[in-house]
Structure 1
Amino acid sequence: MKLEKIVLIVATLTSFFTVFLSSAVMVAVPTLASEFGMSNIIQNWVTMLFFLAVAIFTIPSGQLSGKFGLKKSMIFGSSVYILSSIAAIFSINSEIFLICRLVQGIGVSFLNVASMAMVVSAFSPQERGKAIGINVTGVYLATSTSPVIGGFLNFHFGWRSIFLTSVPFLILILVLLITEIKEEWVTMGDVPIDWKGSIVYSLGILLFIYGFTRLDESTGIILTVIGLIVLGVFVALELREKYPVFDVKFFKNPKFSSANFAALTAYLATFAVTTIVNYHLQYIRGYDSQMAGIILLVAPLIQVIMAPISGRLSDKINPQKLAAIGMFFGAISLAMLSMLNVSTPLWFLIIAMVSHGLGFGIFSSPNTNAIMGSVPQKDTPVASASVATMRVIGQTMSMGMLTLVFAFVMGNVPMIEKYFPLLITSSQITCLICMVLCAASVFASLVGIKSKEMLEFN
């Protein structure tokens, strides 16, 4: 089998299972909250802590992958992911489980960067959009099937069965990496590691995102401001660094910067939707996790269909035009979801989810192609890290925004019927904010259409 096909198979399997555990566990959150006695705020951290870890370690993993090789990074990330998933099965309280989620995020940060960079390195520019589309399909296939599979497993066998089912496939990915892929793809072998930049970035993003989730308190405001200051120091350090962990000069390219901002706002606007709909189905409508998982299938199923189509189209049509069209549909879906209440017909919710799936299915592959195609071949690990970072920061902040709205509207309370009206209000407010963010993503995509294809910096 040709190297390109093997790489695509491994990368797509990796994309599937890095998303599967996150999405499948999300459906099981009410069960986890009941078993471990989590409040409405703490249960959001089951998802948010995972993505916070990914956000913190993605930028450093980009440089490490380029220096030591994409294959080695994939092997390391897979090993960490497997061990932390096994440990999660034996969790006896919420603290241990949340620590396992944190470690899983570290493993996934390496997998996200290395797998995408590996695809870009293995395929020619003429075939890159198609390959990215197939790889992104793995993400959407996991997003579509994981609520159903996760809901079924959780309902019949408990939440631990989700991890037990996933671990054998994660081991298979590790075996394929070791035995079938011989190329290493070392693009920064002589470049020293920018430890100072890595530490400053990680500290800044930690303070900013954690503070963001607590903006209802003075401590949260202080931490957010300090985080932004530290991130500003990071940018200043990287501009002077000969071998920066993340070359911020690439943001001088309007195509690169606009596509990254579009990705950030898109994920910030859309990621919390699954949690909002899941809470609506299980708490407001009273469905079990199995039924909720089946209904949650709608949006990602549309994404699975659209991702490879939009990926192929992005090789022929300006990818940022497609991205703008996608986020327009996303804004429509969020406008509809902002109307959810106890009397909303199920058909209305399904139509909103179809629009959501159509929008993000059109957006993601072209946006990724725009970012990856705007840097020189040698800098693909940096671009891949940027793609992953925008995604996970957006996802983490999206959950942080939902948690913040919960804190303002509901307070730190258990998810019981007494507080369901406040849950509905919180979800409506979040969807309206997300609709505005979708509009910002449309604008950002349109800004980059006439920019240069690539800028190279020495």
Structure 2
Amino acid sequence: MARSPEKTSPKAALAVAALTTFMAPFMISAVNIALPAIQAEFAVDAVVLGWLANAYLLATGVALVPAGKIADIYGRRKIFITGILVFTVATTATAVMPSISWIILLRILQGMGAAMTMTTGIAIISAVFPPSERGKAIGITVSSVYIGLSVGPFAGGLLTGAFGWRAIFLINAPIGAAALLLAALKIREEWADAAGERFDVAGSLFYGVALVCLMYGLSILPARLGLGLLGGGALAMGLFIRHELRTAFPVFEVRLFRQNRTFTYSSLAALINYAATFAVAFLMSLYLQYIKGMSPEAAGTVLICQPGVMALFSPAAGRLSDRIEPAAIASAGMALTAAGLAALAFLSADTDIPYIIVSLVVLGLGFALFSSPNMNAIMGSVEKRHYGVASGTVATMRLVGQMLSMTLATLAFSFFIGSAQIAPPVYPRFLEAVTLCFAAFSVMCAGGIYFSLARGTLHSRSR
């Protein structure tokens, strides 16, 4: 493994990782605010508009694990810097595109660039920080995600209102340029712990087909095509696993799931937690505006308390997991998350706003306590040569969990409301769907406590 003479400053690496981790969620949440303005300019239907989000998610999901393996083989610094460049150029170019087709194509490139930075950023942090400080660094990086999610809607609304939706993409140019310059100058080492291995092209293709079929199939349920795609995705995933177990240099070390209990259970806990929490903002935004009659600005002010608490407490939770067993902290976080979701399952038309805020704060605190220690447990449970793959796995679990969360919400609306628009006559059924989702999410988190507790210990082993 080749390394340059100078060591990388951990603080500099953390600063770059935090900045790049902020960019992607900021863009996602800011663009969501601008969707009506984009639709008005290009006169597209809701399905085409939905691909602005879906194309990004699918591209990110498909590229995550292969990008992690390529980084492990050829160098994480190279892939990290390339990812920043691709994301920045694609995002900036979107601001001048004349058609929705070009914008969707650039969203795919954005997703690929984001995958390259996601899968290498945490891996670089894990490499430059000693195990005794890794949790703190991961906590700060994770909090950047929530800061991006918190700032995005507010900044996106201001930029769209003052300068138009294209300003959201243009604002990324100086942020991306700063991250690129900082990474090129301050990250001086190269990490290629799997150097010499061959890249598994066939496994990557199986993985990509499986993930596209599964994620797209979930998004269009209960349509027959959705069921067919889920079946095809399951078949492709089976072929992927079979291939990975037989090849000498797999793109993803499936044996990690069979041989590493901490890695397996931590990954499953992450999937469950994201599946139970991602749709909360979506559901609560509709509840606050339709049932409580709040304006979008007022609803956003209430909802910002959840990611705000996440951003505030994630660094502390990560730092705590350096001294206390991550499983204990993450399990407590999962339990608090379940409690917050259970409280929201009792929402009614007369629920007071303070009750809602307290429930969201409990939910945010629970997620903060879970996320950073869980990531610390995953990265601490694998060898250095698997850092890229492990980081990519966590990001994949996040994306699949997010899709599952939105699918459950969509299915609940289909069952209770059908094709009717959300209007006063269907408010009672809408409220039933919302509370059922929160109850189901709470039960999921309660079950996730088992995987979080049963993952085994981390601090007792040599790292």
- After TM superposition, the score normalised by the length of structure 1 is 0.90
Q: How does 1:294-309 map to 2 (within 5 A)?
A: 294-309=301-316
- 8 Å contact kept, 1:330–1:356: yes
Q: Is 1:118 aligned with 2:120? A: no
Measured in 2, the distance between the counterparts of 1:288 and 1:29 equals 18
Q: Is 1:16 aligned with 2:27? A: no
Measured in 1, the distance between the counterparts of 2:48 and 2:442 equals 25
Q: Is 1:180 aligned with 2:202? A: no
Pick from 376, 387, 402: which aligns with 2:383? 376
Measure how far apart 1:73 and its partner are.
Answer: 0.9
* Larger CA deviation: 291-300 vs 38-47: 38-47
| 1:215-255, Cα deviation, whole Å (9 max, x unpaired) | 31222112112211211111111111111000011112111
Pick from 196, 205, 211: which aligns with 1:199? 205
One-letter amino acid matched to 1:117: A
> Secondary structure of the equivalent of 2:221?
coil
Measured in 1, the distance between the counterparts of 2:459 and 2:319 equals 21
Which position in structure 1 is the counterpart of 2:3? none
- 8 Å contact kept, 1:152–1:290: no
Measure how far apart 1:45 and its partner are.
Answer: 5.1
Measure how far apart 1:360 and its partner are.
Answer: 0.5
Which position in structure 2 is the counterpart of 1:385? 392
- 8 Å contact kept, 2:380–2:458: no
Measure how far apart 1:372 and its partner are.
Answer: 0.3
Q: How does 1:147-296 map to 2 (within 5 A)?
A: 147-251=153-257, 252-285=259-292, 287-296=294-303
What is the root-mean-square deviation of aligned Cα atoms in Å?
2.8
Q: Is 1:64 aligned with 2:70? A: yes
- 8 Å contact kept, 1:148–1:297: no
> Secondary structure of the equivalent of 1:363?
helix
Measure how far apart 1:294 and its partner are.
Answer: 2.5
Measured in 2, the distance between the counterparts of 1:414 and 1:37 equals 21
Measure how far apart 1:394 and its partner are.
Answer: 1.2
Measured in 2, the distance between the counterparts of 1:257 and 1:164 equals 40
Residue-pair matches, total: 456
> Secondary structure of the equivalent of 1:265?
helix
* Larger CA deviation: 404-413 vs 100-109: 404-413
> Secondary structure of the equivalent of 2:190?
coil
- 8 Å contact kept, 1:52–1:396: no
Q: Is 1:364 aligned with 2:371? A: yes
| 1:173-217, Cα deviation, whole Å (9 max, x unpaired) | 112222332212122221111000000011011111211223312
Pick from 380, 396, 401: which aligns with 1:394? 401
One-letter amino acid matched to 2:201: W
* Larger CA deviation: 197-206 vs 172-181: 172-181
Measure how far apart 1:305 and its partner are.
Answer: 1.8
Pick from 61, 79, 91: which aligns with 1:85? 91
One-letter amino acid matched to 1:160: R
Which position in structure 2 is the counterpart of 1:310? 317
One-letter amino acid matched to 2:204: S
Which position in structure 1 is the counterpart of 2:342? 335
- 8 Å contact kept, 1:319–1:369: yes
One-letter amino acid matched to 1:170: G
- 8 Å contact kept, 2:21–2:118: yes
Report the CA distance shift for 1:48/1:274 in structure 2 as closer, same or farther (over 3 A).
farther
Report the CA distance shift for 1:398/1:250 in structure 2 as closer, same or farther (over 3 A).
same
* Larger CA deviation: 78-87 vs 446-455: 446-455
Structure 1: give runs of 5+ residues left out of the alignment: none
Sequence identity percentage: 35
Measure how far apart 1:90 and its partner are.
Answer: 3.9
Measure how far apart 1:160 and its partner are.
Answer: 2.9
Measured in 1, the distance between the counterparts of 2:344 and 2:163 equals 31
One-letter amino acid matched to 1:182: R
Measured in 2, the distance between the counterparts of 1:418 and 1:103 equals 43
* Larger CA deviation: 117-126 vs 366-375: 117-126
Measured in 1, the distance between the counterparts of 2:38 and 2:339 equals 32
> Secondary structure of the equivalent of 2:323?
coil
Report the CA distance shift for 1:360/1:382 in structure 2 as closer, same or farther (over 3 A).
same
Measure how far apart 1:10 and its partner are.
Answer: 0.3
Pick from 407, 431, 438: which aligns with 1:431? 438
Measure how far apart 1:275 and its partner are.
Answer: 1.7
Which position in structure 2 is the counterpart of 1:347? 354
Measured in 2, the distance between the counterparts of 1:429 and 1:93 equals 40
One-letter amino acid matched to 2:230: T
- 8 Å contact kept, 2:377–2:458: no
- 8 Å contact kept, 2:218–2:403: no
Measured in 1, the distance between the counterparts of 2:9 and 2:75 equals 16
- 8 Å contact kept, 2:343–2:359: yes
Measure how far apart 1:47 and its partner are.
Answer: 3.8
| 1:413-439, Cα deviation, whole Å (9 max, x unpaired) | 666677665544443333222222212
Report the CA distance shift for 1:31/1:421 in structure 2 as closer, same or farther (over 3 A).
farther
Measured in 2, the distance between the counterparts of 1:35 and 1:421 equals 35
Structure 2: give runs of 5+ residues left out of the alignment: 1-6
- 8 Å contact kept, 2:219–2:403: no
| 1:142-188, Cα deviation, whole Å (9 max, x unpaired) | 22322332333344444333222233101211122223322121222
- 8 Å contact kept, 1:326–1:361: yes
> Secondary structure of the equivalent of 2:146?
helix
- After TM superposition, the score normalised by the length of structure 2 is 0.90
Measure how far apart 1:65 and its partner are.
Answer: 1.1
Measure how far apart 1:53 and its partner are.
Answer: 2.1
Measured in 1, the distance between the counterparts of 2:291 and 2:159 equals 22
> Secondary structure of the equivalent of 1:353?
helix
Measured in 2, the distance between the counterparts of 1:35 and 1:419 equals 31
Which position in structure 1 is the counterpart of 2:10? 4
> Secondary structure of the equivalent of 2:440?
helix
Measured in 1, the distance between the counterparts of 2:172 and 2:41 equals 21
Report the CA distance shift for 1:190/1:429 in structure 2 as closer, same or farther (over 3 A).
same
Pick from 126, 134, 141: which aligns with 1:128? 134
Report the CA distance shift for 1:184/1:390 in structure 2 as closer, same or farther (over 3 A).
same
Measure how far apart 1:450 and its partner are.
Answer: 4.9
